């Protein structure tokens, strides 16, 4: 099998992975990013989700994430330099009720991440259409990650590895302890409908149509009405499908993708037939992949818990700040409110470097939604802006470990925090 070598390997080019790759390369470290899709951006581009949740502390409106997340928003022309509050953003891209904001074009996000990767080409390479599919472990280290692409199988030998696959694939295959929620949150295929002329009754009628379709057996599951006009006034962006499945099981993942596609088409047809405003609508497209909220998470050197969120536990080695509410999607029908439980809204809270550090393997970090957190805490820390912040921290730590000839597993998180602060990232738990 062919072997290639790098200093830092980032597996998965999603929210966490793109930030990890950029931050590692910006430290002058030879970095390779591999991504199973033909583009980076993860949930934003593989599913078509435009939200940057976790950026804004809802009660105060202030940003708790800066660094690469904010840089991306600035480069997209959404946040001006110096923006630090929800009021600094264009009103058209925010919902104060949720403390949420979104980007206006997910295709532009693909172009932006390509440009940033190419700009750092001296240190950063990318292989798209490349899937990490196995690891070699020797003496408590990941000795190589096996990737599969059109070249066949290749061994990638890296001194430090960052797992940003969302599913903790590398950590799991390397034998690191992992957990998953019971039940898992459902998968959702996002899709878009064009030429919609929304009227006052549209949302209520859309909800009624979903309930009727479900009761008649045409739609097994949904969250509803689950529609937004985020991209254009006449374009309906729909996140109403809901498919319970385990996306780490290939057969179940395949079944979910097929079911999600069928359900999306059913929803479109129901709305076109019954909902005022949809009479002349057409189905534009669904996201390239069904979206996966919830699979494995590592059990790391520190586990972020609900109690940490409730008590806002402080950590000297905090490398990011979380702030999103407990956003737990149930695997069954829910009408109006997408989440179950209290929807507890924490105050901005610290996330420790050690939630990125798995047990047993010394040269591996895990960033993004599969970092070490309990089911409840992860329902908050899984959102996009928080994942970007975790990725930035992991990439910075991998580069620092290379500079100091140490390993990420034993690296001092306080030093990662200091480096992040110097690059305008890191935790913003306090003003």
Ligand X SMILES: Cc1cc2nc3c(=O)[nH]c(=O)nc-3n(C[C@H](O)[C@H](O)[C@H](O)COP(=O)(O)OP(=O)(O)OC[C@H]3O[C@@H](n4cnc5c(N)ncnc54)[C@H](O)[C@@H]3O)c2cc1C
Binding mask 123-142 for ligand X (x = CB under 6 A): --------xx----------
**Binding residues for ligand X restricted to 216-275, rule: CB under 6 A:** none
Least Å distance, CB 329 to ligand X, is 8
Q: Which of 57, 71, 169, 350 binds ligand X (CB under 6 A)?
A: 169
C-beta closer to ligand X: residue 34 or 420: 34
The answer for residues whose C-beta is within 8 angstroms of residue 378's C-beta and 6 or more apart is: 181, 294, 297, 304, 369
Q: Which of 14, 226, 260, 427 binds ligand X (CB under 6 A)?
A: 14
Q: Are 327 and 371 in contact (CB under 8 A)?
A: no
Residue 387 within binding range of ligand X, rule CB under 6 A? yes
Binding mask 327-366 for ligand X (x = CB under 6 A): ----------------------------------------
From 244-252, 259-267, 308-316, 380-388, give the range in contact with ligand X by CB under 6 A.
Answer: 380-388
Residue 78 within binding range of ligand X, rule CB under 6 A? no
Cis peptide bond N-terminal to 337, omega within 30: no
Least Å distance, CB 78 to ligand X, is 15
CA atoms of 298 and 169, how far apart (whole Å):
10
The strands making up 282-286's β-sheet, listed across from edge to edge, are 227-232, 235-238, 191-194, 282-286
Of the candidates 253, 250, 294, 274, the residue with the CA atom closest to the CA atom of residue 383:
294
C-beta closer to ligand X: residue 302 or 381: 381
How many residues sit in the footprint of ligand X (CB under 6 A)? 36
If you write DSSP's letter for every residue of 173-219 in order, what string do you get? HTT--EEE-SSPPPBB--EEEES----TTHHHHHHHHHHHHHHTTS-
Least Å distance, CB 102 to ligand X, is 8
Residue 293 within binding range of ligand X, rule CB under 6 A? yes
CA atoms of 365 and 353, how far apart (whole Å):
10
The answer for residues whose C-beta is within 8 angstroms of residue 267's C-beta and 6 or more apart is: 210, 213, 219, 222, 238, 240, 241
Q: Which of 113, 352, 362, 384 binds ligand X (CB under 6 A)?
A: 384
Q: Are 366 and 298 in contact (CB under 8 A)?
A: yes
Which residue has the CB atom at the shortest distance from ligand X?
Answer: 14
The count of residues in the chain is 431
From 198-206, 259-267, 271-279, 286-294, give the range in contact with ligand X by CB under 6 A.
Answer: 286-294
Binding site for ligand X (CB under 6 A): 11-17, 34-37, 42-43, 46-47, 49, 51, 53-54, 131-132, 164-167, 169, 188, 291-293, 368-369, 382-384, 387
């Amino acid at each position: 099998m062919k072997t290639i070598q790098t200093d830092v390997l980032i597996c998965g080019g999603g929210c966490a992975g793109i930030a990890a790759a950029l931050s590692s390369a910006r430290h002058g470290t030879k970095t390779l990013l591999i991504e199973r899709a033909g583009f980076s951006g993860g949930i934003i581009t593989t599913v078509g989700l435009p939200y940057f949740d976790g950026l804004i502390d809802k009660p105060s409106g202030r940003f708790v994430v800066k660094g690469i997340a904010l840089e991306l928003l600035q480069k997209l022309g959404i946040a001006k330099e110096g923006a630090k509050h929800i009021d600094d953003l264009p009103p058209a891209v925010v919902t104060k009720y949720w403390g949420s904001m979104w980007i206006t074009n997910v295709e532009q996000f693909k172009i932006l991440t390509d440009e940033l990767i190419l700009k750092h080409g001296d240190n950063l390479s990318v292989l798209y259409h490349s899937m990490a599919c196995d690891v070699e472990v020797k003496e408590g280290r990941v000795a190589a990650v096996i990737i599969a692409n059109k070249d066949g199988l290749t061994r990638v030998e890296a001194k430090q590895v960052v797992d940003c696959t969302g599913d903790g694939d590398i950590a799991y295959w390397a034998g690191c302890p992992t957990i998953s929620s019971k039940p898992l949150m459902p998968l959702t295929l996002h899709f878009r409908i064009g030429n919609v002329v929304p009227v006052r009754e549209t949302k209520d009628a859309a909800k009624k149509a979903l309930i009727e379709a479900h009761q008649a057996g045409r739609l097994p599951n949904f969250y509803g009405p689950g529609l937004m006009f985020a991209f254009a006034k006449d374009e309906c962006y729909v996140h109403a499908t809901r498919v319970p499945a385990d996306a780490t099981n290939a057969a179940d993942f395949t079944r979910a993708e097929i079911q999600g596609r069928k359900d999306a088409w059913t929803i479109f047809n129901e709305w076109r037939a019954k909902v005022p405003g949809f009479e002349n609508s057409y189905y534009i497209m669904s996201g390239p992949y069904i979206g996966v909220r919830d699979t494995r998470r590592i059990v790391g050197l520190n586990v972020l818990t609900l109690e940490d969120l409730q008590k806002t536990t402080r950590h000297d080695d905090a490398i990011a700040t979380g702030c999103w509410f407990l956003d737990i999607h149930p695997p069954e029908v829910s009408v109006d409110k997408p989440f179950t439980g209290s929807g507890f809204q924490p105050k901005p809270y610290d996330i420790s470097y050690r939630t990125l550090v798995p047990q047993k393997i010394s040269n591996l970090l895990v960033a993004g939604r599969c970092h070490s957190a309990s089911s409840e805490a992860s329902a908050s820390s899984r959102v996009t802006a928080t994942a970007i912040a975790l990725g930035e921290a992991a990439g910075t730590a991998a580069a620092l470990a290379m500079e100091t000839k140490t390993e990420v597993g034993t690296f001092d998180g306080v030093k990662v925090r200091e480096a992040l602060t110097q690059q305008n990232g890191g935790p913003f738990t306090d003003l």
